[in-house]
Structures are given as C-alpha cells and as structure tokens.
Structure 1
C-alpha cells in the first residue's frame, strides 16, 4: 500500500491508521537511511507484518511520513535518530499523535540487529505477556518488523555490520496512564504493538454494520452456517476446521460477541462456529457481551473456581487467581493432567452463553486455539 492508496481508504468514510510498531519501524529506517546514505528521507516505505507472511508471498508495505531525522553526537559511534508521528487514522487511541522515535547506532560486526526501549517505552515487570520480564514492552511482531526492515536496508547499502535500535516515546509515560499497562505490569510507558501493521477504524457502529453486512452477504450466497472469529489469526485457524465452507461464511466478530450471535440467529443461520483464543473464551464464558480488553476485565477469581471444579489442585487455583493475564493463567494450567478438562469445561460454559444470545435456536460450536495455533478444545 502506497501513500495514495492509504489516503484513498477514506473512501468508505473511515481511514486506516498505522501501529506504534510501524511507526517505530519507519523511524528506525529513516535514521539508518541517514547513516548509510547520507540523507534523511521525508517518506519511507516499510514492510508490514506478519513475518513470515501468512500466504507465503511478499509482505504488504506502507509509506510512512518522517517528521525529522538527524545525526546524534555520540562520539566515535555513528548514530542517528528518526521521528514519526503515530497516526491512528479514524481510530484514535492513547498513542494517536505520539512522537515515536528510534535512535540507530552502527555497532558490531556480525550483522546482528539489537533492539531495546528507551524513555516512554514501558518495561515488563510481570509474567504472562508475550515479552519476558525485564525486557522493553515491544511485542514480538513489531520486533520482527523492525529487524526485517533494518536488514532489508542494510542489504541495499551493502552494510554487513551490526545495528542497535533504541525506541523511545518522549511523552510515553504520561500517555500510558490512559492504558491498562500498569495493571498488566508494564511500567514506565506505552507498549510498541501491532500484529498487522495498520489500524482498522474501530467505530462501534461501523464495525457492527460491517458484521451485519457480512452476514447478509453470506446469507444471500446461500450459506446456512457461519463462522465467527475474534481476529484474523483465529479466523484463519477456524477456516482450517471447516475447509468445505466458502470464505463468505466467515466473519470477524472482533469483540462484539452478543451482537454477532443475535444477528446470526435473526438472519436464519442454522449453525454457528466460534473460534477464539483462551482470553476471549474466558470472557465469553463469563457472559460479557463485549470483550474488548480496555472495557472488560477478566475475572480471575471466577476462573480459579472453574479450574478447581475441573480438577485443578488448590495451589494451581491460587496461582490462577493471582494471574496477571489470560496467557499467564493458561501457562499455569498447561501441561497438567487437568488442563484439557479445564479448557473443555470453560468452552462448554462459553457455548451456553453463546446459545443464550442466539435464543437457543441455533447450534453453536466453540473452538479454542492455543497461541501456537493448535486447537485444544471443542465444545
């Protein structure tokens, strides 16, 4: 996607933005351009996640405007900083408008790309997140994105040495007060996120209209079954479970659980498949009509009770009660002889809630996927 196509996304009334991960990637690329090429670019073209691409083809790309790019005076080690304003499009969040910058140093001789967070980038202090305790809160996909873009530019300029990247957000600590970072144990700033590189507008009315429209299209095409997922990855995994279903039969419900299920029943579908990961499963089982992380908290005390009822020993239930995230709770119960029983029991509760929202008139199957893509429970 180039700059013209990016702006053209306004045509449907809502403009996509780009993630903090893409902003940090662009800032790093701009700084590296200055160091290796001698000039700071006004726009850089960066690859977008996932890495490697899901379809096996080349990554999609996006042009990102650069606010500033300058050489830093750090003695004998060549260093430059690139700056980007994070643009959330028509889905402004706590990081919309933030200055994301990356200082790049040419250091080392083995071609290694090292990455860390500086001022305004949070640091992980509790387990359960995809980044280990003690490291900067830069999620795995942005880490891959930054490294891939840096290596790509090094190849273009014929540079074979090492590169150090330090991402910072000058007002990140203040912005983090409007996020759930502190509750998750991410202290001192925001997180650098982005599983797809761009941000889809999250207007509730627009998203619900999109869900309803997707259901209408599927029904008009003769589909009697519908597959709901909470995101792109869970959709791909759910599709693999129903290879005979046409692509039109799959709709991303995101966090709109009750709305999607009610609409599917009202439009006459006879079977619903729901695909999700553990965190969304628990929220569905706990009866949350809307499951967005910033709006709905997971009840770990109730989850601990369910674990105990399904056979987990008391010490495991206590650990689950004190867990920080759904990922951590799953890690606590993983590999235990009772794990399968726990997940299946929760999936059955989620199925009951889902059928409540369909009025009990539609058959619902709940598929639970692990973070590595395996399916380990169906109800």
Structure 2
C-alpha cells in the first residue's frame, strides 16, 4: 500500500471490511444452507468487538455431495487495498466425525512456508482472528463443534499477492486472509505495519542476527548488496520507521540497520518516526544548521535554508565538499537509538542517493552507547 501527498483525511472516508470478515460471511451463508436452510442474503455476522454487520452474497450454491459454497465481494471502503473488489469464496464440505473444523487454502489463498508467523508452516494463510470468526459463525450455540472442512479461495489471489509482502514472509501461492477487528480503516496502513512486525517475527524465527529496515527499493537493494543478507533479513518499513523500531525494541535482534534516501534519513534525524510527507516536510532551517555543524560557512547555510528539497541541500554541500551526511546519519542514529533503548541491539544508519550510492553511514554501535 502506498500513499500520496494528497492522502485524504481518514476521518472523512468510508470504512470497509477485511478479507476475514468477507470469508466469515460467506462461510455463515454456506453453513445455513448446508444444514438445510435457504442461503441468507444478506447474511449477518458478528465482528470480534460484538458489532453485527450484514453482507450481500455475490453467488452461492450446493456441491452435490452435501456441501455448500458462497461468495462475497470484498468492499474495502475508501482504502486503496489491493483486494478491494476481490471475490472471496468459501466452500464447506462434511468432514470425518471427530475432526472438527479444519481449514484449507483454495485457489488464490497462500500457504505458510516459513516459521515465525502466527500460523504454523504448512497451514493455509488464514490468520487466527478470521479462523476464530469462522468457527463462531459455524457454531449454533449448543457447544458442539461441527465436523466440516472450510476451503477459502480468492479469485485472482495469486496475482494480487504479488503486490503484497507475502512472498517475503514465506506465504506462497496467494493472499493471506487477514483481519483483527474485521473492519478496514482507510489509510490506517495497519496491514503494512502488521507485515513489518511479521517480517521481524520471521527473521527471528529463522535465527537471523541482522535485519535491515529500508524506506524504499533503492535503499533496500543497496543495503542488501552491501551486507550480503538473505531476503528474509530485509524489512520493507517504508515510512514507518517508528513502527519497526518500536517492535524491535520489544522483539530484538542482535543488529538493526535503518537504510534510506537523503530526505527520509534527514527527517528521521529531525525526530520524525513517520517519514511520510503528510507528517510534514524536513525543516530546511534545521538542515542549514546541520550544514553549519559540518563546516558550511554562513552564506552556504543561508542558501540551504532557502532550498525547497533535501536533495538540493545535499547537492550544495557536496559541491562545497561539506560532509552533511555524516552529521545527519549521526543524528538519525541518536533518534533511532532512543527508540531501541534497552533492546541490546547494535544499530547502524545508512544513507543512499537516488542511484543507490552510499552517501554516509553511522555505526554499527550498541544502542546503550552514546552516538
């Protein structure tokens, strides 16, 4: 998921439903029909917080072998979710007595292949909360657990999954069925931040001792080439430096690298933990003071204060052979160090230009030391 400078105010936007909610609604409708009733349309389910919500069915039917299926089209509201408009299908089939409710990945739903995720290796990528919601939807309130196989599919899910971080997390073959509240809050980036956390979990479960959080593709490729790390060590943090660092403070690894371009690392140095432009631009007056700390004279510092971009400021200091990057990466290290305090991690900061050339670095040093 990406954002632009024109990202609207989330409070003004329409909320939507997670893939987990859609799968639950489809499962509930199929379950009613499988037990001899008519397919309810709309079908009502209960979200984790207790709200009752209704979904329209896109299609439904019986399989001729005692099972039933139903489909719901995902509505993500005003969120730019890659699965908005996707057809979520659930097939229910009778299972052997005593097996309870089991889950299968149908076409377009992935399978977990790496440790560290909340679902075991080899299981369909249907997260714990959606599983719990579906189990609740198949419970008639008498305490008995039905014996039924639940197969969740997403039309075109394998192609859509290429636009997510699933491959890096070891989820192959399709999408994950996600959701913790059942509701999609527009532009909350909850799915992205959750992917950052799961990436850290996978790296830890694999025993990796060094992870790199990058702000974009260029910095990721450059940092990976510099250190020769496996793909599972690379965390696509985007603008969410704070989201990654705070999680690493609670779930540490021995070494953490933050890699980014000159503008993003400069914002981190100025105390921004959300590096997106909507949180504000870099303070050019502060950047000018950093240039002065690096040796720029008063005239150059004044010119930097009037520039409109961080890249332009770095062009000016480079022409004057002033190492602005050294000051910025040291300050960025201090900001990140404060977030990681007490984790025992070693930390380094890498700053790259748009071509992926290393401009400056600071560290690695233990976060308990002064930078």
TM bracket (short chain):
0.5 to 0.7
Partner of 1:357: 271
Aligned partners of 1:189 and 1:168: how far apart in 2?
9
Q: Does 2:70 align with 1:82?
A: yes
Question: Would you say the 8 A contact 2:18–2:74 is kept in 1?
Answer: yes
Question: Would you say the 8 A contact 2:44–2:55 is kept in 1?
Answer: yes
Question: Would you say the 8 A contact 2:27–2:70 is kept in 1?
Answer: yes
CA apart distance, 1:177: 3.3
Partner of 1:136: 124
Q: How many residues align?
A: 252
CA apart distance, 1:106: 2.9
**Residues 182 and 278 (structure 1), Cα distance of their counterparts in 2 relative to 1, 3 Å cut:** closer
Aligned partners of 2:13 and 2:342: how far apart in 1?
31
Partner of 1:250: none
Within a 5 Å distance, the mapping from 1:1-379 to structure 2 comes to 13-49=12-48, 59-74=50-65, 78-110=66-98, 112-151=100-139, 154-155=140-141, 161-202=146-187, 288=215, 299=220, 321=230, 323=232, 342=254, 354=268, 356-357=270-271, 365-366=338-339
Question: Would you say the 8 A contact 1:25–1:145 is kept in 2?
Answer: yes
**Residues 65 and 71 (structure 1), Cα distance of their counterparts in 2 relative to 1, 3 Å cut:** same
Aligned partners of 1:305 and 1:323: how far apart in 2?
15
Aligned partners of 2:168 and 2:257: how far apart in 1?
24
**Residues 166 and 341 (structure 1), Cα distance of their counterparts in 2 relative to 1, 3 Å cut:** closer
Partner of 1:270: none
CA apart distance, 1:197: 1.1
**SS of aligned partner of 1:23:** helix
**SS of aligned partner of 2:232:** coil
Question: Would you say the 8 A contact 2:101–2:147 is kept in 1?
Answer: yes
CA apart distance, 1:129: 3.3
CA apart distance, 1:59: 3.1
**SS of aligned partner of 1:27:** helix
**SS of aligned partner of 1:73:** coil
Question: Would you say the 8 A contact 2:214–2:234 is kept in 1?
Answer: no
Question: Would you say the 8 A contact 1:278–1:368 is kept in 2?
Answer: no
Cα displacement string for residues 182-214 of structure 1 (whole angstroms, at most 9, x for unaligned residues)? 344322222211122111111xxxx7xxxxxxx
**SS of aligned partner of 1:148:** helix
Cα displacement string for residues 230-263 of structure 1 (whole angstroms, at most 9, x for unaligned residues)? 969xxxxxxxxxxxxxxxxxxxxx97xxxxxxxx
Aligned partners of 1:144 and 1:297: how far apart in 2?
40
Aligned partners of 2:113 and 2:147: how far apart in 1?
28
**SS of aligned partner of 1:26:** helix
Q: Which runs of 5+ in 1 are unaligned?
A: 1-9, 50-57, 208-229, 233-253, 256-275, 289-294, 307-317, 328-338, 371-376
Question: Would you say the 8 A contact 1:17–1:199 is kept in 2?
Answer: yes
CA apart distance, 1:64: 1.9
Question: Would you say the 8 A contact 1:42–1:67 is kept in 2?
Answer: no
Question: Would you say the 8 A contact 1:128–1:326 is kept in 2?
Answer: no
**SS of aligned partner of 1:83:** strand
**SS of aligned partner of 1:91:** coil
Aligned partners of 1:298 and 1:129: how far apart in 2?
26
TM-score by length of 2: 0.53
Question: Would you say the 8 A contact 1:45–1:62 is kept in 2?
Answer: yes
TM-score by length of 1: 0.52
Aligned partners of 1:94 and 1:11: how far apart in 2?
18
Question: Would you say the 8 A contact 2:67–2:92 is kept in 1?
Answer: yes
**SS of aligned partner of 1:144:** helix
**SS of aligned partner of 1:179:** coil
**SS of aligned partner of 2:181:** coil
Question: Would you say the 8 A contact 1:175–1:190 is kept in 2?
Answer: yes
CA apart distance, 1:149: 2.2
